[in-house]
Amino acid sequence: MQRFHVRLVLAVALAATLAAGARASFAAGDDALYRAFGQRDGLVKIVADATNRWVADDRIKDTFDNINLDRFKNLLVDQLCELTGGPCKYTGRNMYEAHKGLHLNQAEFNALVEDLQLAMNKYDIPFSTQNELLVMLAPMEHDSVTR
Amino acid sequence: MRLGFLTNHQKPIPGREMSNYGARLLIVLAAVAALAAPDARAADARQAASPSPAASPPATSVPPDEPADEPADEPAATPEREPKTDLFDSGRLLATGGVSQLEGAGGGGLTPWALITGYGTRDAIGANAHYTYIPLSDFRIQSEGVAVGFFDRLEVSADRQEFDSRATGAKLGFGYGFTFNQDIFGAKVRLLGDAVYDQDSLVPQVAAGVQYKHNEEAAQVRAVGAKHDDGVDYYLSATKLFLGESILANLTLRETKANQFGILGFGGDRHDDYSLQYEGSLAYLLSRKLAVGAEFRTKPNNLSAAREQTAYDVFGAYFVNKNLSFTLAYLDMGDIATQRNERGAYLSAQVGF
Amino acid sequence: MIRLREIRPDRLMRRLSPAAWTRVVGVLAVVAGWQLGGVVLAAESKAVVQKNRAFNFKRITIAAGGVVQFVNDDEFIHQVYTQSPDFNFDTAESPPGNTLNITFPVKGTFEVHCHIHPKMQLIVNVI
């Protein structure tokens, strides 16, 4: 009986990599990811749902106290639209300036990400597509988290 | 008093100071202006320290002699947001602590990863306990242990393994179902990088670890040719999450003398010194809760009487929530103690926070 | 003693040179400016600090024509606005370290808010 061969393991690894690459590749410079999120309308819905979760989430609702939520949601949609290759321009401040007054920690940043994932789940954004956005948001931890 | 200069009838000289008539005119006009101007001195006293630049429309003339019973200004206490600190925040994202590997460290099934076990962020502590059951063709392995992660920086673990030799025990002269028991105490330190947040960099999360292993069956391990019944493994792991591709990759380098991970002692007749072994994991994230992947782990092959080969597995890990996860794998350990092609299931459960 | 009869504009015009007339006008302008400037410097000015997304006063009183200086001593951007039949303003964003000077020209009671932080409120009582 043939034992488990290194080739099989490598085949699995290759298959996994190919599976990851075989789905639509969202190259920088086009709006494929923007369209995958349902364009501005889709982003507006996701941001609205995520914001509802954030202001109800005991872990982070205090950080949303005394914030004009309409203004916040607009800025966030602009930012996500621009990040995903959409025809928008984010006009808010950079992540460090915008968040330093809040003294956020990692747990708060992660809570925000988790609620955003739930919002994206609600609108049936595929997990791999969600990660295409999260890959751009994750490095913002370095600037947004100051505590 | 005679103002003689006012009656000076000298002729005016062009280009010089004003003539006497001009001087007279000036003095008369100045006197009139001084008498007619409102008294500004009372208003000056109320002026603020820094005068305002004229960015707003010019002020209209204000008679300052209003009644002095204006209400006092009411100050407000400026609020400070009290940030929360929680030593057991379980704040890390789901699955980012890995599971418990065979020797009790945080990682995959076979190999430790650079991730620190548990869900504590850098401000907190996380911990877990695991139980693993591995029914192979001829042997049964069990592993149970606990691990604690401190501030996403340090991990310590304690694990106990039981290797039931079953019928092979009798063949080897130890008795049917003879069980090799091993204790493993581990520590791991994250040296650099953050697998989750450093998505804008190719730098992996890197950790260094040690595992002190003590096999209780000193006589039996020597009987199969091992030189020692305890030993220390040293390893370095590099883990990278390629979030855009939903792929996690890990490579571990290990310096070890252990035979079959220590189950059959340390060192042997073929080789009784440290050798560098390679371990790797590749996982694809299907969802927040489910990852599938494959691993390999090489072995030093120190014993001529009990050859060993690279171990492989393909696995699925399901994270119910931050308190519970299950891992199911198909494991091929290669040859163990004269038995060929030891394969079977790997089942593990982890509870923690 | 001044003999007013001797101050006669027609003779004065002939007596003073252009240079002299320039000096006369210049001195009159200085005198006028001094008097008017005294009136502007006399307007009231009060400072209100924006910190921790709040004003450091709930209510202030200022004379009509006075200036309220909104000092951003916060880590957040702010702006100020008020809406009333008598008086309105709606400023641009003011970053940390910046000061906005708002003149309140008419009497009344005005609620000042920040578009960005809805809980911020200052009552300005203009008398």
SS3 for A33-73 is HHHHCCHHHHHHHHHHHHHHHHHHCCCCHHHHCCCCHHHHH
CA-to-CA separations, B243 to A132, B351, C36, in angstroms, rounded: 7, 25, 69
pLDDT category at C20 given cuts 50, 70, 90 is: confident
Q: Does A24 touch chain B (CB under 8 A)?
A: no
Is residue A75 helix, strand or coil? helix
Top pLDDT among A90 and B47 is at A90
pLDDT at position C29 is: 67
The per-residue pLDDT for range C70-109, each reduced to its tens digit, is 999 999 999 999 999 999 999 999 999 999 999 999 999 9
pLDDT at position C24 is: 73
**Subunit contact B46:C35, Cβ cutoff 8 A:** no
Give the Cα separation of B183 and B175 in Å (integer).
22
| A24, pLDDT greater than 60 | no
Give the Cα separation of B175 and B181 in Å (integer).
15
pLDDT at position A146 is: 94
Q: Would B45 be classed as within a structural domain?
A: no
**Subunit contact B59:C19, Cβ cutoff 8 A:** no
Domain that holds residue B167: 87-352
Q: For chain B, count helices (H), then strands (E).
A: 4, 15
CA B137 to chain centre: 39
Task: List all residues of chain B from 189 to 228 with a beta carbon under 8 Å from chain A.
Answer: 196-201
Two structure tokens written together for B25: 């005119």
Q: Would B314 be classed as within a structural domain?
A: yes
Average pLDDT of the residues in A10-16:
59
Is residue C23 helix, strand or coil? helix
Is residue B285 helix, strand or coil? strand
pLDDT at position B49 is: 37
Nearest to B76 among C7, C56, C61 (CB): C56
Q: Does A67 touch chain C (CB under 8 A)?
A: yes
pLDDT at position C27 is: 73
pLDDT at position C19 is: 74
Q: Does A2 touch chain C (CB under 8 A)?
A: no
In 10 A of CB B6, how many CB atoms? 15
| Interacting residues of B235 by C-beta distance below 8 A, sequence separation 6+ | B112, B208, B209, B210, B211, B252, B253, B254, B255, B279
Give the Cα separation of B133 and B131 in Å (integer).
7
Q: Looking at the complex, report in whole angstroms how far the Cα of residue C83 sits from the nearest Cα belonging to chain B.
A: 18
The per-residue pLDDT for range A25-66, each reduced to its tens digit, is 455 568 999 999 999 999 999 999 999 999 999 999 999 999
Is the dihedral angle over the CA atoms A134, A135, A136, A139 positive or is it negative?
A: positive
pLDDT at position B23 is: 57
Q: Where are the alpha helices (DSSP H) in chain B?
A: 20-36, 41-44, 166-172, 218-223
pLDDT at position A12 is: 62
Least confident of A67-71, A126-130, B23-27, B312-316: B23-27
Of the candidates C37, C11, C22, the one whose C-alpha atom is nearest the C-alpha of residue B26 is C22
**Subunit contact B52:C101, Cβ cutoff 8 A:** yes
φ, ψ of residue B284 to 5 degrees: the values are -115, 130
CA-to-CA separations, B251 to B11, B199, B294, B297, in angstroms, rounded: 108, 18, 12, 10
Q: Would B62 be classed as within a structural domain?
A: no
**Subunit contact B332:A3, Cβ cutoff 8 A:** yes
pLDDT at position B41 is: 41
Report the run of H or E that residue B351 belongs to, with start and end.
strand B339-352
Q: What predicted TM-score, i.e. pTM, was given to this entire model?
A: 0.79
Q: Would B2 be classed as within a structural domain?
A: no
**Subunit contact B71:C38, Cβ cutoff 8 A:** no
φ, ψ of residue C116 to 5 degrees: the values are -85, -30
Q: What letter represents residue C1's amino acid?
A: M
The residue with tokens 């005294």 is C38
**Subunit contact C118:A65, Cβ cutoff 8 A:** no
pLDDT at position B24 is: 63
Q: Would B77 be classed as within a structural domain?
A: no
CB C86 within 8 A of CB C96: no
Average pLDDT of the residues in C10-15:
61
Which residues in chain B come in under a pLDDT of 70?
Answer: 1-71
The residue with tokens 């979030």 is B243
String of b and e for A16-37 (b: at least 16 CB within 10 Å)?
bbebbeeeeebeeeeebbbebb
Q: Would B257 be classed as within a structural domain?
A: yes
Specify the pairing of strand C66-72 against strand C99-104.
antiparallel
The structural domain count of chain B equals: 1
Q: Would B78 be classed as within a structural domain?
A: no
Q: Would B16 be classed as within a structural domain?
A: no
Q: Does B135 touch chain A (CB under 8 A)?
A: no
Q: Write down which chains contact chain B via at least 3 CB pairs under 8 A.
A: A, C
Give the Cα separation of B103 and B158 in Å (integer).
8
Nearest to B86 among A1, A20, A107 (CB): A107
pLDDT category at C33 given cuts 50, 70, 90 is: low
**Subunit contact A135:B243, Cβ cutoff 8 A:** yes
**Subunit contact C65:B33, Cβ cutoff 8 A:** no
Nearest to B19 among C20, C67, C102 (CB): C20
| A5, pLDDT greater than 70 | no
Q: Looking at the complex, report in whole angstroms how far the Cα of residue C62 sits from the nearest Cα belonging to chain B.
A: 9
| C46, pLDDT greater than 70 | yes
A117: left (phi over 0), alpha (psi -120 to 50) or beta: alpha
| C113, pLDDT greater than 50 | yes
Top pLDDT among B221 and C22 is at B221
- Measured between beta carbons, which residues in chain A are less than 8 angstroms from residue C120? 66
Q: What letter represents residue B290's amino acid?
A: L
In 10 A of CB C76, how many CB atoms? 23
pLDDT at position A46 is: 98
**Subunit contact B245:A17, Cβ cutoff 8 A:** yes
CB A46 within 8 A of CB A52: no
Task: Give the CATH number for residue B306.
Answer: 2.40.160.40
